[in-house]
Amino acid sequence: MKVVVGLGNPGSQYSGTRHNVGFDVIDELARRWQLAKPQLKFQAELRDGNFGGHKVLLVTPQTFMNRSGESVQQIVRFYQIPTESLSDSVVVVCDDMNLPLGRLRWRAGGSSGGQKGLADILLRLGSDQVPRLRLGVGRPPGQMDPAKWVLAKFRSEEQTESEFMTKLASDSVELWVKEGIASTMNRFNRSSEE
């Protein structure tokens, strides 16, 4: 089984914000795969699907960003995914202010890079060897508070780029499901930078 976790905040007021790009990718995958409406379990919305010969669980934690690990920890326990298998079984999709808008960056593991939802997941799973897909949302302009920036909606002139990023990120998750992290990093880290 493959578990794809998209990070964001629940509630319509957060829809379309920079912090919710992880949710946007899950919605795009669910649309592509024509999955049924999500079920609420493990403090998350869950959608079951099949892609590329794999059973896939699409997850959007409903705990708010900074406590995303509560939900992911419950799912990993329920499906009995051992710590040593996290690197092949789970991917976290999240926003990253340190990347320009539209840039994708896949990593096999490492630190959270300051992304609090990812940090909570790594802490609760007891491993930093969890693949993650970071989606660039750009730096806040001037002296703007970073927290306000990530909770703001994309500006009208950014809409096309953010929608393209969601589609490209979804393509990359599909490749991860089929071929794993090495192929995905090789193809999408490079193509994202071009």
* Residues catalogued as catalytic: 19
**Three-class SS of residue 4?**
strand
Torsion of CA 59, 153, 19, 54, to 10 degrees: 30
What does residue 55 show for φ and ψ, rounded to 5 degrees? -75, 130
* Sheet strands (E) in the chain: 2-6, 39-41, 44-51, 54-61, 90-96, 104-107, 132-136
Structural contact between residues 9 and 65, judged by C-beta atoms closer than 8 angstroms: yes
Structural contact between residues 98 and 10, judged by C-beta atoms closer than 8 angstroms: no
Q: Pick the closest to residue 10 from 20, 2, 24 (CA basis).
A: 20
Rounded distance between C-alpha atoms, residue 90 and residue 73, angstroms? 11
